[in-house]
Amino acid sequence: MKAAVIGAGFAGCEAAWQLNKAGIAVDLYEMKPQHFSPAHKSEKFAELVCSNSFKAQRLNSAAGLLKTEMLEFGSVCVNAALKTAVPAGGALAVDRELFSDLVTEQIRGCENINVINKEVSSLPEADAVIICAGPLASEKLSETIKGLCGDALSFFDAAAPIVAADSIDMQYAFTQSRYDRGGEDDYINCPMNKEQYEAFYEAIINAEGAPVHEFDKRKDVYEGCMPIEVLASRGKDTMRYGPLKPVGLTDPRTGHRPWANLQLRKENSQGTMYNLVGFQTNLKFSEQKRVFSMFPALHDAEFLRYGVMHRNSFINSPTLLNSDFSMRDNPLIFFGGQITGVEGYMESASSGILAGLNCARRLLGMASVTLPETTMMGALSRYISDETVKNFQPMGANYGVLPPLEDKIRDKSERYMKLSLRAMNDLKSFMKEMQL
């Protein structure tokens, strides 16, 4: 019995680690050092391309909760991060060279893992395959993935920001579909008067953009979804004829059409997250918070995900994958990592844990598992497989993907701690019940 794992990034290493623990032979394919993507320079596994930070470490943070859950599964990446940590306040940051060295050493030291350094152009011979292609999959591998997924493979991540539903100030917003077509609460509308809009326009055309990597500088990324700041630069009223058009809407506070209007659309079936429609952007995260909070309804908005525009291969997972990360039409082919639509180092690693765990269970004749929806890992696995998600875009760990608490807690820190404690309690109970 043998499994093949394609890619020795965060997800691939975690998947191989889980298979090894289950006693299953693994061929781990890594194209480095024969071939490098435009972003990778090191021959080592789990290479950090951008930041050396894995975000917050405290339990009452989404990133901290995710890493705490991963430790319950013996995460090779989280354990390596803890051993190679450098001072970073409340964040878990690492010496990137020592981190990759340690992960590489541990994976190569596993008796059941056979590392094969070659570029994959077709699925390897194995009883099961886990594809852990990163955001910069090679052309040959991308063609193979296209053969499996058809048109459901994207090459650019052009995502608008997402805010928490309970942070929208409904005193300054109203629900209505344009021309009353559709459900009454399909959209939350955030109106602006002329003075507010003109101040917003001045702010956005002068806002600072995020640095762009050389491999992201592709003109065709903007053909279908122009950044809102680029649209704004073409004239004061261009946004009012685009994403901020007010036609077909009536503000109940004034009885008139707004001067400009931003629509928010549900991002998930629970209605805990809302997407800023048409607000794809390449502004710095701090600038997005500052400028987009100028909408009166978003003056105290909690941004669960900021907008991004960069090179990122990912599949339309809700149409293709089960919540155990296997393909719906071929349960012995799994995906893991950023290609599934999770975003972030540790999010990628966590998907690799679940893909590897479930692949092992399937090969051993056991039922695959989906973690409780109250856990961060379980919620993310449900998000990427939720067929009700429209206009699917990658998602990182955030409390908006978790079901809300029964009791309303206004204090954010207290609320997050209760959500995290609930998650860990439910995870430990589940693992005990399933003998994981």
Sequence spans of domains, the chain: 2-158+311-434, 162-306
The reported pTM is 0.79
Nearest to 178 by CA among 239, 255, 263, 253: 263
Please check whether the domain covering 162-306 is classified as CATH 1.10.3910: no
Q: Say which residue, 270 or 218, is predicted with more confidence.
A: 270
* Pair 130, 334: CB distance under 8 Å: yes
For the ranges 151-160, 190-199, 324-333, 336-345, which has the lowest average pLDDT? Answer: 151-160
pLDDT value of residue 132: 95
Q: Say which residue, 76 or 96, is predicted with more confidence.
A: 76
- The band of 221, judged by pLDDT with boundaries at 50, 70 and 90, is very low
* pLDDT, tens only, 40-67: 567 899 998 777 889 999 999 999 999 9
Q: Is the pLDDT of residue 215 over 60?
A: no
pLDDT value of residue 33: 74
Q: Say which residue, 29 or 313, is predicted with more confidence.
A: 29
pLDDT value of residue 219: 47
Q: What is the CATH number of domain 2-158+311-434?
A: 3.50.50.60
* Pair 427, 371: CB distance under 8 Å: yes
* CA 432 vs CA 145, 187, 314, 436: distances in Å: 36, 42, 33, 7
pLDDT over 90 percentage in the chain: 69
Q: Is the pLDDT of residue 223 over 70?
A: no
Q: Is the pLDDT of residue 73 over 50?
A: yes
For the ranges 29-38, 125-134, 191-200, 318-327, which has the lowest average pLDDT? Answer: 29-38
Q: What is the mean pLDDT of residues 275-292?
A: 93
Q: What average pLDDT is seen over the chain? A: 90
Q: What is the mean pLDDT of residues 365-390?
A: 95
Q: Is the pLDDT of residue 222 over 50?
A: no
pLDDT value of residue 381: 98
* pLDDT, tens only, 134-191: 766 777 888 888 889 887 666 565 678 999 999 999 999 999 988 877 666 778 999 9
- The band of 324, judged by pLDDT with boundaries at 50, 70 and 90, is very high
Token digits of residue 408: 């309303």
Choose from 82-91, 121-130, 302-311 the range with maximum mean pLDDT: 121-130
pLDDT value of residue 200: 97
pLDDT value of residue 65: 98
For the ranges 147-161, 241-255, 402-416, which has the lowest average pLDDT? Answer: 147-161
